[in-house]
Amino acid sequence: MGQGSRYEGIERREGKKGVRWVARLELGIDPLTGKRRQREQAFGTEQEARRARAVWVAEREHGTVVTISRITVREILLAWLDRHMQGKAPLTIVSYQATVHKHLLPSSLSRLPVQRLTAGQVQAYYNQLIAQGTGQRTRELVHLRLCQALDMAVELGHVGQNVARRCAVNMAQSTVGRALSQEQVAAFLAVAAHDTYHPIWHLALATGLRRGELLGLRWSDIDFGLGLLHVRQTLVWYDRRPHLQERTKSAAGRRMVQLDPTTMRLLLLRQGEQEATRHAAGSRWNDLDLVFSVANGGPIGPNNLHRSFKQLLMQAGLPNIRLHDLRHTHITHLVGHGVPLPMVAERGGYADPSTLLDVYSHILPSMQELAVEAAARLTSWASAEEDGAGGQMVGKKQKPARGRAGFQRAGDRARTDDILLGKQTLCQLSYTRIALARGVSPNLMRKYYHARQFAAILFPPLGR
């Protein structure tokens, strides 16, 4: 029979084993089950019960209290899935569900109470996946989802630690992209000139757009007047059918990309060809406003695009690279030619330019040559100044004459377009002065200059 104590939450009970002191602490409602939670334990003396309850109170205040719970790993996984599907992209949701429902829920781990789960049991399950021939990436996703679910169990006070994080999982090495050289780009485009998807290959190399961004591109996203391409929509495939979604891979992926004149002309030709196809299709035309579509206006299947790409690589005698490596080629050439990283990051849809340093660190050593050349020019100019001060004027450069708009009147720089594309850098000409001369905004002039410069890097015969 229970009897109260002068201390709150402590109860004296008499039974066959003698007097026991029971400590009890209310912990609120369980957000997973909706049931009342409390912690209770019997001790031999009142002092032991008081000390234990004091510890529980401190743990509750710090959010580290663990209640005795019968909740299973399965319930934790389903609760985590329900919480983390909110606000996620459809393709992300499909990936979450596939990993949890196909691998984790059918496993023996899911039937265990989460408080009885051990690191040894988790590691044994991982070893079982290896023995079954489960792929490396699938095993990584299984580990990641289980860790995330158990992190939530720790947060809610069902367990004190995440035992999955003590298990060893051999993470696969990240795939390093392979960029084509300028000569290989020319060979690829020569073979692809008569391919059905030729405009896609050219635009991928000229802009660095991702596959989903290319296939989801609409005519309404292209401003032919300003030469701007807006990335606003992507095409993703799941459940064996295409889905157009008004969201990009990240917030930075929603961006503007300046187009060079050659790419603009190619897109105008594509628009004319599609208009003829549209008239031929008549009422069968599916008006999705897509730039790249099949004969009835519907989206192009990624598998068809992939097969065509692999055939072109074989015909051109090029390495067996990924389709995504066309984007890698674009960015690699820009970084390698010294285009400022913030501009490359903006064009490629990276939120942080430092990401480029991680992904493209393998080409940074070659950029040391650019740095050496710049340093050499700096010191050679200083040497010329010193010699000139001594009366010899060795290597002293005369300041060229300037015209009405402030442009140099050298023979090979007479035309403004030549200046924008030419041998002179923006250290010598300001965007503002060029913009005033052409009657446009300085920001637009900056984008126009770099778009023309991109074309000159990747398509030398076409960009000039």
pLDDT tens digits, 107-134: 999 999 888 889 999 999 999 998 888 8
Question: What amino acid occupies position 283?
Answer: S
DSSP class per residue in 254-305: SEEEE--HHHHHHHHHHHHHHHHHHHHHGGG-----BSSB-TTSPBPPHHHH
Yes or no: say if 452 and 259 are a contact pair by the CB < 8 Å rule. Answer: no
Question: What contacts 222, CB < 8 A, 6 or more positions away?
Answer: 228, 229, 230, 259, 267, 291
Instruction: Report whether pLDDT(161) > 60.
Output: yes
SS3 label, residue 144: helix
**Residue-level pLDDT at 391:** 46
The CA-based angle 189-202-353, given to 5 degrees, is 120
Question: What contacts 417, CB < 8 A, 6 or more positions away?
Answer: none
pLDDT confidence band for 66 (50 / 70 / 90): low
Higher pLDDT, 243 or 67: 243
* Lookup result for tokens 């485009």: 189
pLDDT confidence band for 420 (50 / 70 / 90): very low
Structure tokens at 113: 């109470």
Cα 368 to Cα 411: distance, rounded to the nearest angstrom: 32
Instruction: Report whether pLDDT(211) > 80.
Output: yes
The H or E element spanning position 365 is helix 364-389
Per-residue b/e over 327-336, b at no fewer than 16 CB within 10 Å?
A: bbbbbbbbbb
**Residue-level pLDDT at 418:** 36
Instruction: Specify which residues 18 forms β-bridges with.
Output: 15
Cα 321 to Cα 180: distance, rounded to the nearest angstrom: 9
Per-residue b/e over 158-189, b at no fewer than 16 CB within 10 Å?
A: bbeebbbeebebeeeeeeebebbeeebbbbbb
The 10s digit of each residue's pLDDT in 264-279 is 999 999 999 999 999 9
**What is the arrangement of strands in the sheet containing 228-231, beginning at the earlier edge strand?**
222-223, 228-231, 255-258
How far apart, in Å, are the Cα atoms of 91 and each of 103, 146, 248?
18, 19, 12
Yes or no: say if 256 and 237 are a contact pair by the CB < 8 Å rule. Answer: no
Cα 280 to Cα 12: distance, rounded to the nearest angstrom: 90
Cα 171 to Cα 374: distance, rounded to the nearest angstrom: 41
Q: CB atoms < 10 A from the CB of 72, how many?
A: 18
Among 42-56, 61-75, 345-359, the range scoring the smallest mean pLDDT is: 61-75
The 10s digit of each residue's pLDDT in 183-194 is 999 999 999 998
- Most confident listed range (243-247, 259-263, 361-365): 259-263
CA-wise closest residue to 410 among 384, 431, 428 = 428
What is the gyration radius of the CA atoms in the chain, in angstroms? 33
pLDDT confidence band for 334 (50 / 70 / 90): confident
pLDDT confidence band for 443 (50 / 70 / 90): low
Among 68-72, 97-101, 108-112, 180-184, the range scoring the smallest mean pLDDT is: 68-72
**Residue-level pLDDT at 337:** 79
Cα 418 to Cα 437: distance, rounded to the nearest angstrom: 14
Dihedral pair phi/psi, residue 75, rounded to 5°: -65, -40
Structure tokens at 279: 């008239």
pLDDT confidence band for 358 (50 / 70 / 90): low
The H or E element spanning position 421 is helix 416-421
CA-wise closest residue to 126 among 113, 112, 108 = 108
